Structure 1
Amino acid sequence: MINEFRSGIRIPGMKIGGGWRRFLFLLPVMIFLPYLLSVLELHKFSTTVDRPRKSGKKPDHLVLGPAAGYGLQNRLHCQGTKALNKTQHAAPQSLNAGENVAFVTVFTIYNSSEKNIEKSSSDLVTIGNTSYTKLERSMAILESFIDFIQVTMPSSNVIILTDPDSNLNINKERVTAYPIQGEYSRDRLMLQRIRSYIAFLTARLEEHNEHVQEQMNHYIFTDSDIAVVDDLGQLFDQYSSFHLALTFRNNKDQPLNSGFIAVWGTAEGLQRAKEFLEEVLEAYTTRYMKASRMLGDQLALAWVVRSHPSFKTHRFSKPVAFIEEINGASILFLPCALYNWTPPEGAGQFHGMPLDVKVVHFKGSRKRLMLEARNFFRSSLNMDDMLCLVLGSGRTKYDF
């Protein structure tokens, strides 16, 4: 009687108590089971039919978009790959008599055994009419780096600091491989780069002190994935009172980029640059080894500069060159917008490309674009149109 009274209803053939409670528990499942099965079936259908399958194949050609910066003053304006205005390039080779500029980069070869391995379709990337393996791509990027220098600064030498085991064979005039013993693994390459720079400067300083040189060489240390699109000789003509130059951007955590370092070719310039890089190396090895594969060098650069008591970090907020004394070295700070410009990615693309850009840096996956740009320039022989190709290329269109 008590159970009948509490439930208010009795179903014939069903035991009172546990059975009734199980029925109430299963009732929602019975109601919603058809809907659940429908949802699962729909999900299965969408995963097998509607959802696109990932092929893993990346685009093998460029698709141009609108060129960033249209309508802004002092920016390159383009219609497709045709420049509507002209870049403001300096007169060729504006150095004083007896002076020259040499470019120095660090480059090594990984997996050199690939030379003897037959090309496989999964390893190939086609750019234009040429297919590249990973090793061939690396060499093509280095050759592109050299080609752009030889177009814009034909009297400049290119020096490649490399692992003695790399066996680099570059058959180009005014190009020299300079072996330096060290640790060139991928995890230590950025660290080794600074050590190689220091070793090179030490050797040049010793040569400078031993005998008088007929010609003074200024040095520009760069990554090998840059294109020099203007004569940088004017840098040493326009700014005559610095020991080394660094490029900066308005970035709170990484304001300095190590992909471009210029050094004045006098004994004092070589000495001050060597001492400064030794400070950077010490900061790198004591503070930023966890970032040894990437960014450690840039973090160390920023720490050495910012730790100087008189330095004002707010000067990085405006793209205007300035000179500061840092631990005895006169350092020229140059805006990345001109001397280390990177093809657009994200919000930065809306600023476009300055008309007086000097160096284009094809960081990361932009290296495909570097090869596309070189091929385009070879066919057009027009630097401004080539820069329009670079400016109008979207990131996903040039990933390796």
Structure 2
Amino acid sequence: MIGRRVCSGWRPFLLCLPLFFVFVHIMSVLELRQHSAAEVPQRKQYKKFDHLVFGPAAGEGLRDRLQCKGNKALTKTHFGASSKHLKAGGNISIVTVFATYNVDQQTNGKSLDSVTVGNISYSKVERSIAILNVFVNFIQETMPQSNIIILTNPSSKLPVERDRLTILPIQGDYSREMLMLQRIRSYIVFLETRAAEHSKLKGQVNHYIFTDSDIAVVDDLGQIFNDHPDFHVALTFRNNKEQPLNSGFIAVRGTPEGILRAKFFLEEVLKAYTSKFMKASRMLGDQLALAWVVKSHSSFDVRRFSRKQAFMDQISGASVLFLPCSIYNWTPPEGAGQFHGMPLDVKVVHFKGSRKRLMLESWSFLKSTSSSDIADMLCLILRSGRTKYDF
């Protein structure tokens, strides 16, 4: 009776109207909770495979993407000519940081599982060395005149011996927790030595490309320095708000000014890393530091990261060239255009995470028959790049 009097008439009705909406909201929340388990999809659990798993090649019908019929490439416009050029890679050094770690053969009484690729079984250390060897193989296939430099801990003994390959020890902390931080430090020390030695080169210019060791160079990278003659350091970007820059590919012009400007730039990145991102030191700290240094310049337009065109800007006194990851750092597991296929002019494939098995399998496929070529191998990568493997 009292409730009827309170809410009867227009004015009381208006006063009770908010209570009505509160009641409806509470009932909706209760109903949502009752059905949330059925309506909210569970996060998909990915199974890792010990063999390649193939699906359709993404990008079918798109004119600027690689077209495949099975593992046979139907479009080869950009592949072959430069990659088979015997002088490709002249005056360029590919530089990577690599370290090995002692792994106990017994863990809780159980032997560590080996991984078999083809007819070869690998332990954890052996598969790392196998990846390093394939990294070298791809470079020597596509850029035979380039030099390869491996920066490593003085205590590391790397069983990798090739022509035009140098193992250069640099003192530092190469532990797993500090490797990304040490990588930048090693790059800086390397550039310091190159700057000091430049006077002995008698005017010769040798450019440098710093990369991760889990990449495959599938085309000559010398074009970067010819097509963009004014940059000091080049980075690869993607349309990712939090991590727009990937540190797995950094190019440095080999002139005295280019080397010094790149060194100063990396010192700024190192400073940001150690002061702001040490909590992410094992992974991503270097990429977060790179992004912070670039985006801290008030005039920098981050909207350019959403486009696919290369562009330049002045950052920390260096002329920085930004190159699209879709061409210079294309990644099967994390996108960078993968779900729309593979660009015809892709030059670097980055086998991040568990895709390292795919890296070994790709090289094996490339060398399996005389009819196989890089374009066909890229179809193999494109068809199997979304699967998680056992590496």
Q: TM-score range by the shorter chain?
A: 0.7 to 0.9
- Paired with 2:365 and 2:268, the residues of 1 have a C-alpha distance of 42
Partner secondary structure for residue 187 of structure 1: helix
Q: How many equivalent pairs are there?
A: 342
Distance 2:324 2:361 in 1: 26
What is the CA-CA distance between 1:99 and the residue it aligns to?
Answer: 5.7
Structure 2's unaligned 5+ residue stretches are: 1-44
Written as runs of structure 1 = structure 2, the 5 A alignment for 1:11-160 is: 58-89=48-79, 91=82, 100-111=91-102, 122-160=112-150
Helix, strand or coil for the counterpart of 1:308? coil
d(CA) in 1 for partners of 2:336, 2:259? 38
Taking structure 1 as the reference length, the TM-score comes to 0.80
**For 1:193, which of 161, 168, 183 is the aligned residue?**
183
TM-score by length of 2: 0.82
Aligned partner of 1:382 among 367, 373, 378: 373
Q: How far off is 1:229 after superposition?
A: 0.2
Change in CA separation of 1:212 and 1:100 when aligned onto 2, cut-off 3 Å = closer
Q: Residues 383 and 354 of structure 1: is their aligned pair in 2 closer, same or farther, counting only changes over 3 Å?
A: same
The separation in 2 between residues aligned to 1:227 and 1:87, in whole angstroms, is: 19
**Which residue identity does 2:235 align to in structure 1?**
L
- 1:269 equivalent in alignment to 2:258: yes
CA distance in 1: counterparts of 2:197 and 2:336, whole angstroms: 47
Deviations 1:345-397 (A, max 9, x none): 57954211000000000001111110010110111341011000000005335
Q: Say if 1:330 and 1:376 are closer, same or farther in 2 by CA, change over 3 A.
A: same
**Quick check: 2:325–2:336 contact (8 Å CA) kept in 1?**
no
* CA distances 1:178-204 after superposition (whole Å, capped 9, x unpaired): 000000110000000000000000000
Q: Secondary structure at the match of 1:220?
A: strand
1:220-259 matched pairs, under 5 angstroms: 220-259=209-248
CA–CA separation in structure 1 for the residues paired with 2:385 and 2:147: 33
Equivalent residues of 2:131, 2:356 under 8 A apart: yes
| Number of the residue aligned with 2:344 | 355
Q: Provide the residue aligned with 1:283 in structure 2.
A: 272
Amino acid in the other structure paired with 2:268: E
Distance 1:394 1:316, change over 3 A: closer
Q: Is the 8 A contact 1:64 1:80 kept in 2?
A: no
Deviation at 1:214, TM superposition (A): 5.8
The question of whether the paired residues in 1 share the 8 Å contact of 2:86 and 2:145 is answered with: no
Deviation at 1:98, TM superposition (A): 11
Over the aligned positions, Cα root-mean-square deviation in angstroms equals 2.6
Preserved contact between residue 340 and residue 360 of structure 1 (Cα < 8 Å): yes
Separation of aligned partners in 2, 1:166 and 1:375: 27
Aligned to 1:9: none
In structure 1, what is the Cα distance between the partners aligned to 2:240 and 2:47? 34
- The whole-number CA distance in structure 2 between the counterparts of 1:132 and 1:142 is 13
Compared with structure 1, are the counterparts of its residues 122 and 168 closer, same or farther at alpha carbon in structure 2 (3 Å cutoff)? closer
Instruction: Report the more deviating stretch, 354-363 or 385-394.
Output: 385-394
Distance 2:337 2:201 in 1: 47
Larger CA deviation: 190-199 vs 338-347: 338-347
Could you tell me how far apart the structure 2 residues matched to 1:281 and 1:182 are? 14
Cα distance between partner residues in 2 of 1:134 and 1:204: 34
2: CA distance between counterparts of 1:245 and 1:57?
Answer: 37
Structure 2: distance between partners of 1:218 and 1:78: 35
The CA deviation at 1:172 is: 1.0
Give the fraction of aligned pairs with identical amino acids, expressed as a percent. Answer: 67
Which segment is superposed worse, 94-103 or 229-238? 94-103
Residue 154 of structure 2 is matched in structure 1 by 164
Which of 304-313 and 285-294 deviates more?
Answer: 304-313
Give unpaired runs (5+ residues) of structure 1. 1-53, 115-119
Please state whether the residue corresponding to 1:395 is helix, strand or coil.
Answer: coil
Question: Separation in 2 of the partners of 1:306 and 1:93?
Answer: 39
2:86 and 2:222 map into 1 onto residues whose CA distance is 5
Q: Tell me which amino acid in the other structure corresponds to 2:214.
A: D
Q: Which amino acid aligns with 1:171?
A: E
1:285-364 matched pairs, under 5 angstroms: 285-345=274-334, 349-364=338-353
